[in-house]
Homo-oligomer: A and B are copies of this chain.
Amino acid sequence: MTNARIIDGVALANVFREQIKARAASIRQRGGRVRLDAVLVEAGDNSARVYAENQAKTSQMLDIDYRLHRIAPASLETAFDEIAGRVLLLSSDEDVTAMMLHVPMPQGVDPYRVQRLIAPEKDVEGVNPANIGNIVYGRSSLAPCTGLAVMKMLEWVWQQKRAEGEKVHETTIPFLRGKIAVVVGAGDVVGKPIAVLLMRQEATVISCNKWTPGLAEIAKTADVLVAAAGVPGLITAEMVKPGAVVVDVGVNRFKGPDGKVRTVGDVCFDSVSHTAGWLSPVPGGVGPMTVAMLLLNVVEVAERRLK
């Protein structure tokens, strides 16, 4: 029994960050700018503030001009108007090339109603519905960061397979032609967009949800198995075809008996690692990649502006 090879999200994110830095430098050499405008609502949620601070640091390291727009709504009643107004302003500002909105929103503000106001071509988180639609239609699009992270991890696996002489589909894109990809979990933000991205790569895509009959049997047909159900340990070795590529998108946090908070995925890592050919861990898999994908979209947008 061989152990699965690990799809190391931390290492791969570092590779992407190097690429992003090099591309950003090249854009500036050609007279372009690389900039990210982020909106942060001061609503007492500390996690968004911490995320924004980390983003500022990473952006600085990669020479991306990061501008944080803090909004402190006067009242809950005016919150939507104030946030939406700022987003519209940034959407129409010619100097803004890439923008994002930190969540959560204050109580009573539906993030979707704000996100749809982000100009699709500046929407580096890929949250405007037009960007999902563009993926369906095969048009230039900014994919949602989690979905993009999964796809880049799969692309990397296929590069390794190719480099090692394994017989895989000869062209880079669509690299999943003829493969069966099973997505366990059909949530609107992660599962459904990933299914669409996999269709784009010409896989046969099976979208499962919690009412799927015979999930184990279906999962076992997968060449690519994406776990995005939000159920700790849902995917066991019996559900995985030997040699399959397994990507774990689950992020399940709970307090252990020692009182420490632990994060686990949807995949029984220990048992599945004996069956799968490739496996991404949690933590250290999709998570760090997702953060890097935002900045990948930022340079992507900046390059399009140059053309």
Contacts and interface: CB of A to CB of B under 8 A. Distances in A.
Given A133-B130, A139-B129, A199 B204 contact: no
Interface in A188-208: 188-189, 192-193, 195-196, 199, 202, 204-208
A218 interface: yes
A132 interface: yes
A168 B177 CA distance: 35
A146 interface: no
Contacts of A218: 204
Nearest to A186: B199
Interface string A202-232: 1011111101110000100000000000000
Q: Is the interface of A mostly helix, strand, loop or mixed?
A: mixed
Contacts of A112: 137, 139
A206 B205 contact: yes
Nearest to A192: B136
Interface in A113-166: 116, 128-134, 136-139
Residue among A137, A138, A177 with max Cβ neighbours from chain B (10 Å): A137
A48 interface: no
A178 B178 CA distance: 26
Top 4 A-B residue pairs of the complex, sorted by shortest distance between their CB atoms: A129-B133, A132-B133, A133-B133, A130-B130
Interface of A: 112, 116, 128-134, 136-139, 177-178, 180, 186, 188-189, 192-193, 195-196, 199, 202, 204-209, 211-213, 218
19 contacts: A116-B130, A129-B130, A130-B130, A132-B133, A132-B137, A133-B134, A133-B136, A136-B188, A136-B196, A137-B189, A180-B212, A195-B195, A199-B207, A202-B211, A204-B208, A205-B205, A205-B206, A205-B207, A207-B207
